[in-house]
Amino acid sequence: MAQYRRWRMLTRRSAERRTVLYNKVVTSYHRAKIERAALVRELEPKLPGFRSWRMIFGSPAQCAESEEAGRAAAAKLKVADGELTRLRKLEANHLKELAALGKAEEEKVDDLSKRLERVEQQRLELQQEVTSKSRAIGRTLAVGG
C-alpha cells in the first residue's frame, strides 16, 4: 500500500512538473512572438523598403512553406501524370483486346451462319428425298391396290 501511495505521489509530481514546463514553453513562445512583432514595428520606419519587400515576398518562413508546397504539388503532379500514362496504356490494351474479341466473335458468327446454311441445305435435300419416296410409295400402293 505504501508503494502505491508513493507511486501516486510521484505520478502527480511528474504531471505537475510537466504542466509547469509546458506553461513555461508556451509563455516563452508568446513572449518571443511579441518581441518579434515589436522588433518589426521598430525596424519598419527605419528601413524604407522593408514593408513592401515583406508584402511582395512574405516572410522567409512563408517562402520556405511556399517552396515546400510547390515541391509537394510538383511531386503529386508527377505521380498523377504517371498514373494517367499508366491508365492510358491500360485503356489502349483493353481496346485492342476488345477489338480482337469482337473480331473473334464476328468470325464465330460467320462460321455459324455458314454451318446453318449447310444444315438448311441438307434439310431441304432430305425433305425432297422424303417427298419423292413418299410419292413413289404412293404410286406403288396405287398400282398394287
119 CA to centre of own chain = 53
Q: Higher model confidence: residue 22 or residue 65? A: 22
pLDDT tens-digit map of 38-96: 877 777 777 666 555 555 455 666 667 777 888 888 888 888 888 889 999 998 999 89
Residue carrying the nine cell digits 480482337: 100
Cβ-contact 43, 50 below 8 angstroms: yes
Report the distance separating Cα 9 and Cα 2, nearest Å: 11
> Which amino acid is residue 80, in one-letter code?
A
